[in-house]
């Protein structure tokens, strides 16, 4: 099965153009399922094992994951990963999809985005420094990065994959599913990026824009670790994270009257339904926009 799984993951990455994060997550979920079957069935797992599975086997796997403390949302993704593997095998006439298609998707409650308030973000972005002991260029880097996240609503991975040579007023971003979109930088953000580049002791010209102390590409985990510490120091909400800047970007645009279709394009959402969650974040503000914009109100 190892070769089968590797070939399936290659197809997801190359032909289906799934992101590296998705491919890695699917690989972990498939490995978890196979390890469960090895223990559950008491035998080495092969396509033949998959052909003989029953709905109860999938339910046992999902139940075991719940016992381990994994959420329903995590189980939904894991089941999607396993279904993708089964589809790959079915295309090669190695399994039948009847059983797995009978497995019900776990129910999950909708999680609304948690934006930060405008004043809190602006005060945070305008601080003189974040960590007093940081070298000046690190402060400039963080200011540029956080401002960029809020300015363009980027995912943290999208921001950290930007090459220095591409850091211009308009940047082409490679998003989920390797889909391209163009984002525009406000003058203040572009100025902060240029200040960071000029202050950085490392040569950024031929590599990634955002780097760590040793000049290597900055990792998302480090960014979130720093934000976790900053939350306590500057009274930021508990949900303040790199991704919260993206939620705040979309929510604040909507509060000021931006239409869903435009926000969808700016966020890089493939489906408008993904963007519609922001309409549930602040009904009161949307009502004010409606009343101020409708001709009958005038």
Catalytic positions are 155, 176, 243, 246, 269, 278
CA distance 85 to 60: 18
b/e map of 132-153 (b: 16 or more CB within 10 Å)? eeeeebbbbbbbbbbbbbbbbb
Interacting residues of 198 by C-beta distance below 8 A, sequence separation 6+: none
b/e map of 177-186 (b: 16 or more CB within 10 Å)? eeeebebebe
Facing residues of 173 across strands?
Answer: 181
- CA 44 centroid distance within chain: 35
Tokens encoding 69: 């403390």
CA distance 76 to 57: 16
């Amino acid at each position: 099965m190892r070769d089968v799984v590797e070939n399936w993951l290659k197809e997801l990455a190359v032909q289906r153009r799934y992101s590296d994060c998705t491919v890695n997550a699917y690989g972990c979920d498939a490995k978890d399922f196979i390890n469960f079957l090895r223990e559950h069935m008491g035998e080495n797992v092969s396509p033949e094992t998959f052909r003989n599975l029953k709905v109860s086997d999938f339910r046992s796997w999902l139940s075991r994951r719940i016992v381990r403390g994994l959420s329903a949302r995590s189980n939904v993704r894991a089941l999607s990963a396993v279904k993708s593997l089964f589809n790959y095998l079915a295309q090669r006439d190695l399994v039948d999809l009847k059983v797995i298609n009978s497995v019900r998707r776990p129910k999950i409650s909708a999680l609304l985005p948690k934006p930060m308030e405008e004043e809190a973000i602006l005060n945070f972005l305008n601080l003189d420094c974040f960590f007093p002991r940081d070298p000046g260029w690190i402060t400039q880097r963080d200011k540029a990065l956080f401002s960029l996240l809020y300015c363009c609503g980027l995912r943290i991975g999208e921001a950290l994959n930007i090459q220095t040579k591409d850091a211009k007023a308009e940047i082409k971003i490679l998003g989920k599913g390797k889909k391209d979109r163009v984002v525009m930088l406000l003058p203040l953000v572009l100025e902060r990026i240029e200040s960071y580049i000029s202050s950085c002791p490392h040569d950024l010209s031929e590599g990634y824009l955002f780097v760590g102390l040793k000049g290597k590409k900055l990792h998302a985990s480090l960014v979130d670790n720093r934000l976790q510490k900053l939350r306590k120091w500057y009274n930021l909400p508990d949900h303040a994270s790199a991704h919260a800047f993206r939620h705040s970007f979309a929510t604040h645009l909507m509060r000021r009257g931006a239409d869903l279709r435009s926000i969808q394009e700016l966020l890089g959402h493939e489906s408008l339904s993904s963007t519609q969650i922001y309409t549930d974040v602040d009904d009161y503000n949307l009502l004010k926009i409606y009343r101020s914009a409708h001709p009958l109100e005038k």
